Structure 1
Amino acid sequence: MAKFYSELTEPLQNFIQKQQIFFTATAPRQGRINLSPKGMDTFRCLDPKIIAYLDLTGSGNETAAHLQDDGRLTIMFCSFTDTPLILRLYGQGRVIRPTDPEWETFYTYFNPLPGQRQIIVLGIESAQTSCGYGVPIYEFMGERETLVEWADNKGEQGIYEYWQAKNLKSIDGLPTHLLSD
């Protein structure tokens, strides 16, 4: 059954490295809860208490807006293999934009991807495992190339214009500060 940890143990970090998908959940103090799937080799365990992921351009930018409003972030990994397990990471998140002084330090952990937008960092306050017995077994077939192709076709200027049109405010009107200096 459920077990809590104060940090990521080596077995938990190994479990994370095997996963092809993770889910992020955030909420502002007032407004909608956001739950997003992520993938594409964008997640890194930096140490037992800090993780980061390279956030790619999407149709919205809820996570950034919510973290700047409230800071709470939950990340969930879920095994879809024969060995069931769910891992949730709880803590305070923050956004690092390419214009931030910390960008170069954190960016070295990632492979460049077209449409990269920002880095989300989570300071882990606790981690929880649970059984995952009710989760179905699925087979990983491969990464979708659609987002990379879309970003390549847009080019840097096109991505910038897309951010201006779609990524500066959350659904509830909260600022993301994506293009703030």
Structure 2
Amino acid sequence: MAKQFPHITGAHRDFIARQHIFFTASAAEGTRVNLSPKPANAFRVLGESAAAYIDQTGSGNETAAHLLADGRLTIMFCAFEGAPSILRLYGRGRVLHRGGDDYARMLSEAFGGEEPTGARQIVVLDVDLVQTSCGYGVPLFDYRDDRRNLDRWAAAKGEEGLEAYRREKNARSMDGLPTGLLSGETVPR
């Protein structure tokens, strides 16, 4: 039932464009596996072998730590409406930190310069494998709307409050790995 592809096709792009949510999965040696839901409006296909998403400030920053330590990242979309299907993008990821030149360029080129409230970084995935599968076990759900809680929380914190929060809650993973948020950080080897 599963099919593998060396790159993102037009049909894959169409499927991704119809989804409302995606999930990221990452880990590094000796760490817990992280699995996070993300809003699909933050996701962009950059080409046949690349994709990116704007990552907003959250309670942790596990993906960034795992990418710094290991690099592996999987992104999964699954159809909760319409025909059943699952699409996974496998590859190596990297983080573009807010305030950097690469971040500004990607924000402009891929996201039309629109930065959501609380944006913390852009995660870029260099795709080396695309896999689709049936999705027969995925339940049907009706989409109603996006939640606005995170935007309201970030707006209430303000830029200075978000910076302080990130330093306190996002500089290290739950397993103690650096996330790269603080300049000059590297992963202990």
Any idea what SS the aligned residue of 2:159 has?
Answer: helix
- Unmatched 5+ stretches in structure 1: none
> Residue 179 of structure 1 aligns with which residue?
182
Aligned-residue offset at 1:101: 2.7
> Residue 55 of structure 1 aligns with which residue?
55
> Which of 120, 124, 130 is the matching residue for 2:123?
120
Equivalents in 1 of 2:183, 2:121: separation in Å?
A: 12
> Residue 159 of structure 2 aligns with which residue?
156
Measured on the aligned residues, the alpha-carbon RMSD in Å equals 1.0
> Residue 7 of structure 1 aligns with which residue?
7
Contact 1:94 1:122 in 2 (8 A): yes
Moved more, 149-158 or 32-41: 32-41
Write the letter of the residue equivalent to 1:106.
M
Deviations 1:86-138 (A, max 9, x none): 00000000000024331121111222111000000000000000000111100
- Relative distance call for 1:135 and 1:40 in structure 2 (3 A) is closer
Superposition TM-score, scaled by structure 1 size: 0.97
> Residue 45 of structure 1 aligns with which residue?
45
Deviations 1:64-99 (A, max 9, x none): 000000000000000011300000000000000024
1:89 equivalent in alignment to 2:92 = no
> Which of 111, 136, 141 is the matching residue for 1:138?
141
1:80 equivalent in alignment to 2:85 = no
Count of aligned pairs:
181
Write the letter of the residue equivalent to 1:97.
H
Any idea what SS the aligned residue of 1:13 has?
Answer: helix
Contact 2:98 2:119 in 1 (8 A): no
Moved more, 61-70 or 95-104: 95-104
Runs of 4+ with deviation above 3 angstroms: none
Aligned-residue offset at 1:40: 5.6
Contact 2:26 2:34 in 1 (8 A): yes
Seq. identity, %: 51
- Relative distance call for 1:92 and 1:40 in structure 2 (3 A) is closer
> Which of 152, 170, 176 is the matching residue for 1:167?
170
> Residue 107 of structure 2 aligns with which residue?
107
